[in-house]
């Protein structure tokens, strides 16, 4: 209970304090300190939940179970490493004149507020508050994406706001329908939107209403996951915002949106006794994988390319959860974890690389490895990891997803293989000349933060070789809860 308040309190307090002092030099460190506090609190919370089982707080408004507690610590962890990475990154941006003190203050304050909304969305038990947090997350990231105030970043942010605003409005309608279905069954004051209460009565929710509700919720949160055809905002927002923001968008926001869909799916499956939710998720997931893979091959901007790679992976995870069953759910959760670790690591290296080269156009970036071997190797390894090469964790999860697909949904296998092949060819062909070859890039005025990159890659590697027992127990428990 107290730990939970700490997890939420750190980022909220941080956002307020950084709102005042965010432009000073000390703010970069303060940002890290607040994120560290959040992370430590979330670790303690995890330990407590592992020891004592699911946890309610504040009149059942908050609920921590096996599904969300690890996502909380993952979120806090990626937020922390990204804060560490953004320290030198923002110093360089300031030296290049792209960040002014007032923009820096906005950036720091919004960064903490963004973490707050993510954690809130993960921990709340109330489907309504979940929606409010997701919308608040949109608002904070809109400000983060547009922080450079360039024409392109404004365009990206506007598109992001309008598209996600529309999408998330559909989710609100879905939430209203959900409430309508539950209201008759749950009498408790304002208890009808609590996920745990809904879960308890899910068998008797009206199937007609729930069908419609899930369709709206899926469209709404699916927009935020970046599922094709609602993905248009995602590459723009990733490419035009500051790189730390791209890292948290890919690493955290997409995950949390998917988490929201999962919560809805559990209820829908319980109410419908049909495979509607699964079929929707499989269909859109597969579509996203294929479309994103083909778009990958046409990108010129490095951040856009990795943004499409995020769409591809989110599609794959959605597909996995759509298939359901213990193995696919396990693989989906694992893939969620490794994708967020490795994709944010890639964005860290991409951030430094683009700063060194002074451009995001891939054709103009060559020979990173000559100037800064660590950045070059980081990017190479990260790309190999995200493409699913063994022994990284992505390989393990993709392998599980593919084998399950072959057994249960054989029609989908050729599409998946084709998409993964296309993605591999296009990303590898682009990354290779960026890393090796004659160099054009210059050294940076401030040394890059490479520790986060290698921690993330190391963890990704570890998950491919060995999953610690408590983690695997969590995966199994969570997969079970998802109906495995």
Q: Which stretch binds other proteins (CB under 8 A): 167-175, 385-393, 406-414, 460-468?
A: 167-175
Q: Which two tokens stand for residue 257?
A: 């949106």
Rg (CA), the chain: 21
Q: Which is nearer to other proteins, 100 or 439 (CB)?
A: 100
Q: Which two tokens stand for residue 123?
A: 């921990």
Q: Which is nearer to other proteins, 231 or 356 (CB)?
A: 231
CA angle 210, 216, 219 (to 5 degrees): 135
Residue 179 touching other proteins (CB under 8 A): yes
Give dist(CA 226, CA 233) in Å, integer.
8
Q: Which stretch binds other proteins (CB under 8 A): 43-51, 71-79, 184-192, 253-261?
A: 184-192
Residue 147 touching other proteins (CB under 8 A): no
Residue 157 touching other proteins (CB under 8 A): yes
Q: Which is nearer to other proteins, 37 or 226 (CB)?
A: 226
Q: Which is nearer to other proteins, 85 or 195 (CB)?
A: 195
Q: Which stretch binds other proteins (CB under 8 A): 179-187, 316-324, 356-364, 377-385?
A: 179-187
CA angle 269, 274, 279 (to 5 degrees): 85
Residue 361 touching other proteins (CB under 8 A): no
SS3 letters across 371-395: HCHHHHHHHHHHHHHHCCCCCCHHH
Q: Which two tokens stand for residue 91?
A: 């110093």
Q: Which two tokens stand for residue 234?
A: 């995602």
- Applying the rule CB under 8 A, the residues between 54 and 83 that interact with other proteins are 61
Q: Which is nearer to other proteins, 307 or 336 (CB)?
A: 307
Cβ at position 86, least distance to other proteins in Å: 22
Site string for other proteins, 235-274 (x = CB under 8 A): xx--xx----------------------------------
Kindly state the number of chain residues that form the binding site for other proteins, as judged by CB under 8 A: 50
Residue 221 touching other proteins (CB under 8 A): no
Q: Which stretch binds other proteins (CB under 8 A): 43-51, 131-139, 375-383, 386-394?
A: 131-139
Q: CA neighbours within 13 Å on the CB side: how many for 57?
A: 18
**Binding test (CB under 8 A) with other proteins, winner from 25, 29, 155, 363:** 155
Beta bridge partners of 48: none
104-131 residues labelled b (16+ CB within 10 A) or e (exposed): bbbbbbbbbbbbbbbbbbbbbbbbbbbb
**If you ran DSSP here, which 8-state letter would residue 363 be given?**
G
Quick check: bond before 152 cis, omega within 30? Answer: no
**Binding test (CB under 8 A) with other proteins, winner from 44, 139, 371, 374:** 139
**Contacting residues for 25 by C-beta, under 8 A, at least 6 apart:** none
Residue 201 touching other proteins (CB under 8 A): no
Q: Which is nearer to other proteins, 172 or 455 (CB)?
A: 172
Cβ at position 279, least distance to other proteins in Å: 19
Give dist(CA 61, CA 477) in Å, integer.
22
Measured CA to CA in angstroms, residue 232 lies from 95, 159, 236, 259, 403 at distances of 32, 8, 7, 21, 31
Q: Which is nearer to other proteins, 61 or 364 (CB)?
A: 61
Residue 169 touching other proteins (CB under 8 A): yes
Cβ at position 56, least distance to other proteins in Å: 16
Beta bridge partners of 126: 194
**Binding test (CB under 8 A) with other proteins, winner from 126, 340, 355, 383:** 126
Is-contact 469 394, C-beta < 8 A? no
What angle do helix axes 151-183 and 254-272 make, rounded to 10 degrees? 20
Instruction: Quickly tell me which residue has 């054009």 as its tokens.
Output: 440
Q: Which helix (H) or strand (E) holds 35?
A: helix 26-52
Q: Which is nearer to other proteins, 66 or 126 (CB)?
A: 126
Site for other proteins, rule CB under 8 A: 61, 126, 128-129, 131-132, 135-136, 139, 142-143, 146, 149-152, 154-159, 161-162, 165-166, 169, 172-173, 175-177, 179-181, 183-184, 190, 192-193, 206, 208-209, 212, 235-236, 239-240, 295, 298
């Amino acid at each position: 209970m107290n730990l939970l308040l700490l997890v939420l309190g750190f980022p909220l307090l941080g956002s307020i304090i950084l709102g005042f002092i965010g432009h000073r030099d000390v703010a970069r460190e303060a940002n890290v300190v607040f994120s560290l506090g959040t992370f430590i609190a979330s670790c303690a919370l995890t330990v407590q939940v592992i020891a004592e089982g699911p946890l309610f707080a504040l009149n059942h408004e908050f609920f921590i179970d096996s599904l969300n507690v690890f996502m909380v610590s993952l979120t806090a962890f990626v937020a922390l490493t990204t804060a560490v990475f953004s320290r030198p990154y923002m110093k360089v941006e300031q030296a290049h004149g792209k960040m002014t003190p007032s923009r820096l203050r906005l950036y720091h304050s919004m960064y903490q507020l963004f973490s707050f909304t993510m954690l809130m969305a993960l921990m709340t038990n109330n489907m309504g508050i979940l929606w409010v947090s997701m919308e608040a997350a949109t608002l904070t990231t809109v400000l983060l994406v547009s922080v450079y105030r360039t024409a392109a970043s404004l365009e990206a942010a506007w598109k992001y706001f309008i598209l996600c605003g529309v999408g998330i409005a559909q989710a609100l309608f879905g939430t209203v329908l959900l409430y309508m279905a539950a209201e008759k069954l749950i009498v408790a004051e304002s208890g009808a939107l609590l996920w745990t209460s809904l879960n308890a009565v899910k068998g008797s929710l009206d199937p007609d209403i729930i069908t419609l509700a899930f369709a709206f919720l899926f469209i709404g949160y699916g927009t935020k996951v970046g599922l094709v055809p609602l993905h248009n905002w995602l590459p723009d927002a990733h490419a035009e915002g500051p790189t730390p923001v791209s890292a948290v968008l890919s690493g955290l926001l997409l995950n949390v949106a998917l988490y929201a869909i999962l919560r809805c799916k559990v209820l829908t499956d319980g109410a419908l006794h049909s495979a509607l939710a699964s079929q929707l998720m499989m269909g859109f997931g597969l579509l996203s994988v294929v479309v994103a893979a083909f778009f990958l091959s046409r990108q010129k901007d490095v951040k856009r390319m990795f943004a499409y790679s995020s769409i591809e992976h989110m599609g794959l995870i959605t597909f996995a959860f759509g298939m359901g069953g213990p193995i696919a759910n396990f693989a989906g959760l694992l893939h969620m974890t490794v994708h967020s670790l490795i994709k944010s690591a890639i964005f860290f290296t991409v951030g430094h690389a683009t700063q060194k080269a002074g451009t995001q156009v891939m054709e103009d970036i060559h020979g990173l490895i000559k100037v800064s071997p660590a950045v070059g190797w980081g990017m190479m390894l990260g790309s190999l990891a995200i493409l699913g090469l063994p022994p990284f964790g992505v390989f393990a999860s993709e392998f599980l997803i593919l084998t399950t697909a072959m057994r249960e949904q054989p029609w989908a296998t050729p599409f998946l293989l084709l998409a993964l092949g296309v993605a591999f060819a296009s990303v590898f062909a682009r990354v290779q000349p960026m890393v090796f070859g004659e160099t054009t890039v210059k050294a940076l005025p401030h040394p890059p933060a490479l520790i986060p990159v290698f921690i993330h890659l190391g963890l990704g590697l570890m998950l491919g070789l060995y999953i610690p027992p408590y983690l695997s127990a969590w995966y199994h428990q969570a997969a079970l809860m998802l109906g495995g």
